[in-house]
Structure 1
Amino acid sequence: MVDILAYGAYIPLWRISRDEIARGAGVPSAGGEKAVASWDEDSLSMAVEAGVDCLGEQLNPKEIDALYFASTTSPFKEKHASSIIASALDLRRDVVTIDFAGTTKAGTTALKAAADAVKAGSAKKVLVVAGECMVLTPSTDFEQVCGDAAAAILVGKEDGIAEISDFVSTIEPIPGPWRRSTDTLPQRFESKLDLRYGFIKSTVNTMQSLLKKYNLSIKDFSKLVFNAPDPRGYLEVMRSIGADVKQLQDPLFTNVGITGAAHSLLLLVAALENAKADEKILCAGYGDGCDAFYVETKKKVEELKGTRRATTVYVKSKRMLATYEEYLDFRKLRERAQPEYPRASVVKYWRDEKMVLPFYGMKCKSCGSITYPIGRCCVVCGAKDNYEEVKIARRGKVYTFTFDYLCGPGSAVGEYAALNPAIRVVADMEDGCRLFLELTDCKPTPEEVYIDMPIELTFRLMNERTNFRFYSWRGRPVRS
C-alpha cells in the first residue's frame, strides 16, 4: 500500500489577459487569463516553491529518501535539476534524485516511479515535484493555452491522506507535440489529428483499461483529473468515457492555463484540497501515451485542508501584466538591451552551497545572535569559531529599503522589465537575523514597499553568468 502523505502547489503571481495577448499578437482571444512566471522564475525555481508548500512546517525534509523532478522545460539539458531542488529543500545528501523529461506525462510517470520505489522498499518517502515554464511560439494557440505552475506530492507507506492504486500505462508515439534538440519552440502536427488520434484515443483507452482492471465504473469516481492540450479536449474525453461533466475537476484553464507536465499533478492537488473521506479520484497524464491510476481518500485528507497554500491561495493571489510587450520581455522573446554582468565564480557557488541553496546562517554560541552569511567570527560579539549552522527563518519585516537605479536588474530592460529600479531591502527575520535581500514580485513605489512591510523568502534565478544559472533566495510580499 502506497499513500499520498502531503501535497503542495505553486502558481506565479503574474497573469496576463488572453485579450491582451490577442491584441498584441493579432489573433482571436481564447478568453480568461493565464499564469506567467516572473522574469526570475523557471521550472526549477517553481518546483522548489511547490516543494516548500508541500513540506510545510510540519514535515521533516531529512526523512525524505528520494526526489523526482518532472518537466519538459528544465533549465538544463545536461545537469540534474533535481539535485539543486533537493539541496534548496534541505534534503539529505544521500537521497536519490531523478529528472523525468521529454513528455507532458512526465509528472504522472514520476509519480508512478515514486510509488514503485516505496512499494519495493527502496525508499520510505519520495517527493515528486513537477514544474513547467514554457517558451511558446508567438501568435500560436499554444501561447494562449499554456500557463506556468508547479505541483508537489509526497508519497510513502505511512497512513496518509489517500491511497494510490496501481498504474496502467500505454504508449502512443505518433502524433503529439515535439521539440528536437535543435528547437527552442515546440512543434506539432495538425491540431485536430493530435487531439483525436493522440490525446483522446490514448487517454480514453488507458482509463478504460484501468476501470476494467479494478472492475470499476466511471460513476464510482467523484472527480476525473487529467491534462489535455486544450479545453475542448476535456469535454471530448468526458463524453467518450461516459462521465458526467460535473465529475470533471476544474482544469484551471480560465485563470492558470494548461501547465504541461505539471498539470495532472496540479489538478490532483486541487481535487484533494476539496475532497472528503472515502472518495475516488481518477487521474491520468497524457504525452506520447498515457498513465492512469486512481486515489481513494482517507479521513486524514480533511485534516490537511487549509494547511497548504496550494491552488486555493495561489489562484487568488495574482497581479496582471499590463501589456503583451511586458509579457514578451518576461519571456525574453524580443530583442532588447541587456546588461553585461561580470563573470561569476561557480567555485564560490559550490563552496557556499549550504548558505546559498538551503539558506543556512550561523548562530553564535556565545551571544545567541543569528547572522548571515556564515563567517568565522560573530559580527555581534566577535566570538571566533564558536557557532552552529541554522536555517534562516522564512518570514520577516522590512527594516529599511532603497530603490537602486545604478546596479543590478533594476537598471535594465528586457530580461528585467517591470522591475526598474531594483528594490533592495534590509529585513529583520522572525528568528532575529538581519538580511540584505533583493525584493521581487512588486513595483518600486511607496505604496508597495514600506518600513515594517511583511515579506517572505522565495527561491529564484539570481543571474546567468559564466554560462551557468545561479539560484538562491529573494524576498517578496507575503502571498495570501
Structure 2
Amino acid sequence: MQHRGIVSFGAYVPRRRLARKAIGAANAWANPGLASAARGDRAICAHDEDSLTMAVEASRLALSALPDSAAIEALFFASTTMPFADRQNAGLIAEAVSLPSAIRSTDAGGSLRAGVGALRTALDGPGDTIVVASDKRLTRPGSAQELRLGDAAAALVTGSEELIADYLGGTAVSIDFTDHYRTSDSDFDYQLEERWARDEGVMKIIPPIVQELLDQNGTAGEAIAHFVVAGLGGRDAKAVAGRCGIPEGAVTPDLHANCGDTGTGHPLLLLTKALQSAAPGDLILVLGYGQGAEALLFRATGNIGKAAAMTGTDAMLESGVADDNYLRFLSFNGHVAMDWGMRAERDNRTAQSAFYRHRQTVTSCIGGRCTACDTPQFPMSRICANPECRQTDTQQPEPFADKPASVKSFTEDWLALSFNPPLVYGNVRFEGGGVAMLEFSDFEPGEVSVDAPLAMQFRIKDIDEKREFRRYCWKAVPPRSPSPQSKGNANG
C-alpha cells in the first residue's frame, strides 16, 4: 500500500497585530474586567482581506515549495466564514493560484474541526491535494472573544512522494455538543458557559478519541513528541494531554500571546509549527475539536529537514506590525459606519460578462509575453506593448503573481475613496520586464518610496453592498520578511 502524508505547507497571518490593551482600554467603561485579559496581540485582517484572500496566500506558500504545482488534483477549502454561500470559494482559490481547471474543488464548513476533517479526507484519498483552512470571525465589541480570537490561514499539500510526514491513521467521533454556535444569518458566535463546555465537552470527548488512535497504532501517549490541539487554551490543552498520558512538554504552544485562536485554520497553523520543530521519527498527533473530534497521527520522515525552508507560522508572526488603533479595527470589520463622503455613494456593480472575459488577468494575475520580441507585459493585449515590435496576436500567457517587483512611481491620494486612507497606487516595475498601474495595500502614509520592493497579493477590490457581491484583484504590498525593518508600526 502506498504511503500517504504531508508534502509541503504554508501559513499566512495578516501583518497587523492589534494590541489587546487597546481593546481593553476602549471598552473599560462598559466592561472593566477585560483589562485583566488584555495582554499580548491578536492578528487582524486589513480592510481588504477576508478568509478567502488569506487562503489564497497560504496556498501560494504551500505550492511554492513544490517543484510543479500542475500535479495537484484537488483543492479543499475549510472555513466557517466563507464569503460566498453559493459560489464555490475553493474554485475561486484554485483560479487565483493558477491551478489547472481539471481539478476537484470542494468547500467544507459547519464546524471548527472542518480543517482537520478536510485534511483527513485528502489523506485517505488518491493523488496530490492541497487543503487550506481559514477564518476571519467577527466578534462583538467588548466581548471576551474580541480579545481571544485572531485571523489566519494554513495550507498543506498531501501526496505520496517526497513526504515530510507519514500519515499513520485517524479516528473521529461526531457528537452534537453545543458549546458555541453561530446561525447562518448571524455575525457573531453565541458562547455558552466555559466550565460546562470544558468538563462535559472537552474532557469527555477528546481523551477517548485520542486513546483509540493511540491503541490503533500500538503507541503510548508518552511517545507523542508533538501534540497539536487548538481552541482550548494552554491550560486546558495541557490537562487534556495529561489525561491522555501525553507529556505536557509535547503540547504545541497555542499562539494566544501574539496571534489568537484562528478558528478552522488553527489546528493546521499549529501543525506547521510542529512540523518545523520536529525531528525524523517524531510522532505528531493533531486534533480537531467541534461538535465531536477528529484525531490524526503522523511520523516525521527523513525529509523533515525540508520543513525549515517552508513558510510556517513563526516566519509570519515575526513579520508583523504593531497596531493600537481600535477604532480602525472596528471600521475594518464593519462595526462602525465611517463617513467616507460622496465618493462612497458610487454603484459598485460588477460587469460579470467583462469579468469572466478578463478573469485570467484579474483573478490569476496572468499577463503576456510576446513570442516575436520576448517582451513581457501586464495585462496581456492583442498588440505587443514594445513600440519597436507592435506585433498582433503574438502573446503567450505569462504569470506575474510571483515576480519580484519594485515601485517605479506612486501617488498617495487623500481625495480618492479608500477604506484605509490614503489610497496608494502607482506604476509597478516587475523584475525581468513589465510595468503595470496597480493599487497598493498595507503601506502606512509616507512609507512608500521609489524603488521600494513589492510583492503581489490577492485582495478584495471592492464590495457591492447593494447586490452583496465582492470583487477581488491583485495588489502590490510590502514583501513579508522577518527583519527589523518589517517590524514597524501601523498606528497612523
Compute the TM-score of the two structures, normalised by the length of structure 1: 0.94
Task: Give, in whole Å, the separation in 2 of the partners of 1:69 and 1:382.
Answer: 42
Equivalent position amino acid for 1:220 in 2 = A
Instruction: Indicate the SS of the match to 2:284.
Output: strand
Instruction: Name which of structure 1's ranges 145-154 and 426-435 shifts more when overlaid on structure 2.
Output: 426-435
Matched ranges for 1:27-426 at <5 A? 27-30=34-37, 31-56=39-64, 58-118=66-126, 124-306=127-309, 308-338=310-340, 339-342=344-347, 343-380=349-386, 381-392=389-400, 393-409=402-418, 416=419, 419-426=420-427
Deviation at 1:38, TM superposition (A): 0.8
Q: Deviations over 1:432-472 (max 9, x none)?
A: 11121111111120xx2101100100111111124311112
Q: Runs in 1 of length 4+ with deviation above 4 angstroms?
A: none
Matched, 1:454 2:472: no
Instruction: Name which of structure 1's ranges 231-240 and 198-207 shifts more when overlaid on structure 2.
Output: 231-240
CA contact (8 A) 2:462 2:472 kept: yes
Task: Give, in whole Å, the separation in 2 of the partners of 1:426 and 1:401.
Answer: 6
CA contact (8 A) 2:441 2:477 kept: yes
Task: Give, in whole Å, the separation in 2 of the partners of 1:423 and 1:169.
Answer: 48
Equivalent position amino acid for 1:325 in 2 = L
CA contact (8 A) 1:21 1:29 kept: no
CA contact (8 A) 1:61 1:89 kept: no
Deviation at 1:394, TM superposition (A): 2.9
CA contact (8 A) 2:56 2:458 kept: yes
Match of 1:412 in 2: none
Match of 1:464 in 2: 463
Deviation at 1:184, TM superposition (A): 1.5
Task: Give, in whole Å, the separation in 2 of the partners of 1:274 and 1:158.
Answer: 21
CA contact (8 A) 2:221 2:247 kept: no
Match of 2:7 in 1: 5
Task: Give, in whole Å, the separation in 2 of the partners of 1:208 and 1:304.
Answer: 28
Instruction: Indicate the SS of the match to 2:59.
Output: helix
CA contact (8 A) 1:221 1:247 kept: yes
Unaligned runs of at least 5 residues, structure 1: 119-123, 410-415
Compute the TM-score of the two structures, normalised by the length of structure 2: 0.92
Instruction: Indicate the SS of the match to 1:97.
Output: strand
The verdict on how the C-alpha distance between 1:57 and 1:2 changes in structure 2, with shifts beyond 3 A counting, is closer
Tell me how large the CA RMSD over aligned residues is.
1.4
Instruction: Name which of structure 1's ranges 73-82 and 23-32 shifts more when overlaid on structure 2.
Output: 23-32
The verdict on how the C-alpha distance between 1:132 and 1:29 changes in structure 2, with shifts beyond 3 A counting, is farther
Task: Give, in whole Å, the separation in 2 of the partners of 1:234 and 1:251.
Answer: 9
Task: Give, in whole Å, the separation in 2 of the partners of 1:429 and 1:159.
Answer: 33
Task: Give, in whole Å, the separation in 1 of the partners of 2:17 and 2:101.
Answer: 37
Task: Give, in whole Å, the separation in 2 of the partners of 1:169 and 1:77.
Answer: 26
Task: Give, in whole Å, the separation in 2 of the partners of 1:138 and 1:239.
Answer: 35
Instruction: Name which of structure 1's ranges 84-93 and 323-332 shifts more when overlaid on structure 2.
Output: 323-332
Instruction: Name which of structure 1's ranges 83-92 and 237-246 shifts more when overlaid on structure 2.
Output: 237-246
CA contact (8 A) 1:282 1:295 kept: yes
Q: Deviations over 1:123-147 (max 9, x none)?
A: x100000111110112221111111
The verdict on how the C-alpha distance between 1:278 and 1:472 changes in structure 2, with shifts beyond 3 A counting, is same
Task: Give, in whole Å, the separation in 2 of the partners of 1:319 and 1:355.
Answer: 30
Instruction: Name which of structure 1's ranges 390-399 and 290-299 shifts more when overlaid on structure 2.
Output: 390-399
Q: Deviations over 1:147-170 (max 9, x none)?
A: 110000000121311101221001
Q: Deviations over 1:382-439 (max 9, x none)?
A: 1111121111143211111111223231xxxxxx1xx311111211111311121111
Equivalent position amino acid for 1:408 in 2 = L
Match of 1:18 in 2: 20
Task: Give, in whole Å, the separation in 2 of the partners of 1:398 and 1:268.
Answer: 36
CA contact (8 A) 1:62 1:90 kept: no
Q: Deviations over 1:219-265 (max 9, x none)?
A: 11111001124333223212322332211111111111111110111
CA contact (8 A) 1:438 1:475 kept: yes
Instruction: Indicate the SS of the match to 2:472.
Output: strand
Instruction: Name which of structure 1's ranges 340-349 and 429-438 shifts more when overlaid on structure 2.
Output: 340-349
CA contact (8 A) 2:8 2:65 kept: no
Q: How many corresponding residue pairs?
A: 464
Q: Deviations over 1:282-305 (max 9, x none)?
A: 110001000001110111110231
Unaligned runs of at least 5 residues, structure 2: 29-33, 482-492
Instruction: Indicate the SS of the match to 2:308.
Output: coil
Task: Give, in whole Å, the separation in 1 of the partners of 2:178 and 2:49.
Answer: 31
CA contact (8 A) 1:66 1:125 kept: yes
Instruction: Indicate the SS of the match to 1:460.
Output: strand
Q: Deviations over 1:73-115 (max 9, x none)?
A: 1111222110000001111111101111010000000001111
CA contact (8 A) 1:176 1:189 kept: yes
Instruction: Name which of structure 1's ranges 453-462 and 172-181 shifts more when overlaid on structure 2.
Output: 172-181
Deviation at 1:42, TM superposition (A): 0.5
CA contact (8 A) 2:241 2:247 kept: yes
Equivalent position amino acid for 2:355 in 1 = Y
Q: Deviations over 1:308-364 (max 9, x none)?
A: 222121111111222221211121111222512332212222111111111110111
Deviation at 1:25, TM superposition (A): 2.0
Instruction: Indicate the SS of the match to 1:251.
Output: coil
Deviation at 1:58, TM superposition (A): 4.0
Deviation at 1:180, TM superposition (A): 1.2
